[in-house]
Amino acid sequence: MTIFERMPIKEIKGYDILPLIKDPAKPETIREATVHHSIRGEFAIRRGKWKLLCSPRSGGWSYPKPNADKEAIASLPPIQLYDMDQDPGEKHNVYKEHPDIVEELRALLQQYIKNGRSTPGTPQKNGAVHT
């Protein structure tokens, strides 16, 4: 019996990556989407070639500065959508051109937040609020 078989784990909260380890060339997607969460509490979600940021900011890692660039940020759109295949540098926000993609990704992100997880299984408590 292995140590993992002795551990009282009720439910695995992750994805099985063994198929990718066994065959790294296999073009199998493990996750439906990947969620990013900034130090400021801002969310982004990526699925396929699309990346949706639910913030006018970059979502980069830096300590919050409550009043920094307040005027500049106020002039930016609250949502950002990028086609990462065509625009990996995230220079051209295409959220106005693809409202259907924005809504799909936003709904998926809200589902993940509501369930407290992005993996299959029992919903978990999640104190995060996102509208």
For 58-88, the pLDDT digits (tens) are 655 555 556 666 665 665 667 899 999 999 9
For 91-120, the pLDDT digits (tens) are 999 999 999 999 999 999 999 888 887 777
- Percent of the chain having pLDDT more than 70? 63
Domains of the chain: 35-57+75-120 (3.30.1120.10)
CA-CA distance, 83 to 102, in Å (whole number)?
12
- pLDDT for the residue 3: 66
Its pTM stands at 0.67
Phi, psi of 43 (to 5 degrees): -105, 150
113 close to 42: Cβ distance less than 8 angstroms = no
